[in-house]
Amino acid sequence: MKISQLKTTAAVAGILLPLAWSGTAWAQDAVNLRMTIWSANEAHLAMFNEIAEGFKATHPNVTVSFEPLPFDSYTTTLTTQIAGGNPPDLAWILETTAADFVNSGALAPLTDAFTATEGYDIADVSEQATALWTKDGQLYAYPFSTSPFAIFVNNDVIKAAGAKTPAELIAEDAWTWDNAFASAAAVGQSGKTGLVLRDFKYQVWQNMASIWNGWGASPWSADGKTCTFTDKAMVDAMTAIHKAIFTDKAMPGPGEDIDFFAGETGMTITQISRASLLPKENPFDWDLVPLPAGPVGHYAVVGQAGVGAFAASPNAATAVEFLAYMTNPENSQKLAQFFPPARASLLNAETLASTNPLLSAEQIDNVVIDGISTGSVLPGHTNFAQIQQTVRSSLDSLWVADADIPAVLQSVCDSVGPLLAR
């Protein structure tokens, strides 16, 4: 019998083992937890390492390391690790693949462990935030970030192009997509970049929901079984996006990789957690505003990220325990400085102002709290990896100046329809 088995058997039998056996002191086995994330931001990593050190204070045998993976290939790399027999103990999970991970049985259940953790207060975590990550009443991943999409603005660049800033348009009750594209076009035609949809790069098409939701468009029906890329709302939205790119030069074209935070772009659509990228040296006059109103009026879109522990990990119990510590009320407040929280007690202007000192009270109210309260989550689906690739491939022919937009969108439905109907 192995020593570990002997120790377990003796403990079950109620036998008190001495601290030493055969001249060797018992020692807790070292546990090395590995958690994959898609951020290599120094401020994010410093915060995670601080939380890990706090856990180590009461679990001296446990070391937690964080492994950043590129965002563009994050899920592919993660699933490759899993298939190759080298899964992490914990991982961030995109909202688009929540259904696959939650339904597959790959993740350890969390509800009972969180409920049993002193001071955790699981009732404080909103049901709306946990809906994607719950199955049959059991939570399988914690939504550590419910982050609204918004528009970061470089007022210096927009004013230099002679265009109206979003703040000026908001004051005139004229912050619409038509006017947002007009300001972006003025910047684009001045030689700089008007509006960047961050992380899109003509591949992550689901991020266009931050625009097309303003037209009331969606990629598939509510039950997920029918392709709706050919609906009028989507055709109109894609026509507006295509015009902004190829006719008005309001948005960069394929192959152009532009970083708003380098200071040469008028606006970018991204999540508020990107505020940490704002330059500390040579800062520009920046603003943060809600998404413009579309033909269906005002709307909001949120991206979610969950973190789960893998059930097959030999360290699954410790990983769940660390996850409970990482997301307890105290550490949730630390996370809130970058990642909008799922805890109702933290979703208020006072708390968010203390953890997001860069944002004004007005920005917190109008962008963060309103966005989380009313926003729709980015589209996701079971078997999302295949669906994502199928749609992306079909959309490739849209990204040319003379594209037949309705025909391209029909080809999307022809390709993805059978996958949705399964």
In tens digits, what is the pLDDT along the chain, a chain of 422 residues? 232 332 332 233 332 333 333 333 334 689 999 999 999 999 899 999 999 999 999 999 999 999 999 988 899 999 999 999 999 999 999 999 999 999 999 999 999 999 999 999 999 998 888 989 999 999 999 999 988 999 999 999 999 999 999 999 999 999 999 999 999 999 999 999 999 999 899 999 999 999 999 999 999 999 999 999 999 999 999 999 999 999 999 999 999 989 999 999 999 999 887 887 888 888 999 999 999 999 999 999 998 999 999 999 999 999 999 999 999 999 999 998 888 888 989 988 888 887 777 888 889 888 888 888 788 889 989 899 899 999 999 999 999 999 999 999 999 999 999 999 98
Task: Provide the pLDDT for residue 28.
Answer: 67
Bridge partners of residue 377, in order along the sequence = 302
Q: Count the domains in the chain.
A: 2
**Does residue 401 fall inside a structural domain?**
no
Task: Provide the pLDDT for residue 210.
Answer: 97
Q: Give the closest residue to 90 by CA, choosing from 136, 31, 41, 131.
A: 31
Task: Provide the pLDDT for residue 147.
Answer: 86
Mention every residue, 6+ apart, whose C-beta is less than 8 A from residue 176. 169, 292, 293, 294
Domain boundary among 376, 395, 412: 376
Give the range of the structural domain holding residue 247, as residue numbers without chain letter.
149-299
**Does residue 248 fall inside a structural domain?**
yes
273 plus 361 within the same structural domain: no
39 plus 118 within the same structural domain: yes
- The CB-side HSE value for 375 (13 A sphere, CA atoms) comes to 28
For 125, the enclosing helix (H) or strand (E) is: none
Domain boundary among 299, 331, 363: 299
φ/ψ region of 186 (left if φ > 0, alpha if ψ in -120 to 50, else beta) reads alpha
Q: CA 385 to CA 56: how far, in whole Å? A: 36
231 plus 355 within the same structural domain: no
194 plus 283 within the same structural domain: yes
Task: Provide the pLDDT for residue 127.
Answer: 85
Task: Provide the pLDDT for residue 280.
Answer: 84
95 plus 109 within the same structural domain: yes
66 plus 172 within the same structural domain: no
Task: Provide the pLDDT for residue 275.
Answer: 82
Answer whether 0.75 is exceeded by the pTM.
yes
Q: What is the CATH number of the domain that holds 100?
A: 3.40.190.10
279 plus 216 within the same structural domain: yes
